[in-house]
Structure formats: structure tokens, C-alpha cells
Amino acid sequence: MLSKQFVALVLCVLQVLAAPSPLVAVKKAKNAIAGHYIVTFKNDIAHSAGVSSVTSAISSQSKVTHEWDIINGFAGAFTDTDLEVLRSNTNVASIEEDAFVYTQATTTQYMPPMLGPFGDTHALT
């Protein structure tokens, strides 16, 4: 005969195992493009299978805009509802906001005061 404590323990373990997996967090980016995201798959997921699983699950209002061979993932424009679908997809490793990036900061250079032919201030006197 099973004890009540053992049965309660088994039920608790089953609830934990049956709980949905946690949602993938969306990494924020500076200069983010609203509604656009870069999604990468887990290492054991083939690129084509991962993209197929995503495109079959999202609405027609969202779309995959870029695919690359260099990373196991894609970029796209997604509604808030479809973003939640992506976050709960067990094949997805990470989601990051797509953003504008720049190679260097913008700087303003001001002209120095006028100097002589070779920067020699004595040539002016």
C-alpha cells in the first residue's frame, strides 16, 4: 500500500514535469527597430527544420525577412502575438531585437585657429 506522502510527492513531481517550459527572454538592443527580431535556434536544430517550424506557426501578418548560412537562425518582422509564439518554441535558443548599428560614433571636428604655413605662430608676426 502506498503512503499518502509518496503519492503527494509523485503528484508534485508530475506537475513540475508537465509545466510548460519557460519563455525565451527577448534581449533588448540600442537603436532597436520596432517589431523586428533576430532569432537563433538551438545547436541540435537544423536550420531548414527550425525555419519551417516557425513559419508554419506564425500568422500571415509576420514574416521572415532574412536567413543566413553563418548563423543558425533568421531575422523577421513579427506581431506581438507571434513574438510570444516564438518565445515558447522549444527549438529557439535566443531572440534579440533587431537594431541599427554603426561602425563608428559621429564626431564633429572644429577648425583650429589659423596658424602660419607650418603651424608656426611666429611666422604671423
Instruction: Give me the pLDDT at residue 114, please.
Output: 59
Give me the CATH number covering residue 42. Answer: 3.30.70.80
CB 125 within 8 A of CB 115: no
Q: Is 90 within a domain?
A: yes
Tell me how many degrees the CA angle 8-20-61 measures, rounded to the nearest 5: 160
Helical spans, DSSP H, in 2-46: 4-18
What is the C-alpha to C-alpha distance for residues 46 and 31, in angstroms, rounded to an integer?
Answer: 30
What is the C-alpha to C-alpha distance for residues 37 and 98, in angstroms, rounded to an integer?
Answer: 5
Segment 20-46, tens digit of pLDDT:
668 999 999 999 999 999 999 999 888
What is the C-alpha to C-alpha distance for residues 45 and 89, in angstroms, rounded to an integer?
Answer: 12
Q: Is 120 within a domain?
A: no
pLDDT above 70 (res 5): no
Q: Is 78 within a domain?
A: yes
Structural domain harbouring 32: 21-99
pLDDT level of residue 15 (50, 70, 90 thresholds): low
The residue among 36, 53, 125, 64 whose CA lies nearest residue 92 is 53
Q: Is 91 within a domain?
A: yes
Q: Is 76 within a domain?
A: yes
Q: Is 9 within a domain?
A: no
Q: Is 60 within a domain?
A: yes
Segment 45-90, tens digit of pLDDT:
888 888 888 888 888 999 999 998 888 999 999 999 999 999 999 8
What is the C-alpha to C-alpha distance for residues 70 and 74, in angstroms, rounded to an integer?
Answer: 10
State how many domains the chain has.
1
Instruction: Give me the mean pLDDT over the 97-109 stretch.
Output: 80
More confident residue, 106 or 14: 106
Q: Is 118 within a domain?
A: no
Instruction: Give me the mean pLDDT over the 5-11 stretch.
Output: 55
Helical spans, DSSP H, in 1-125: 4-18, 47-55, 80-88
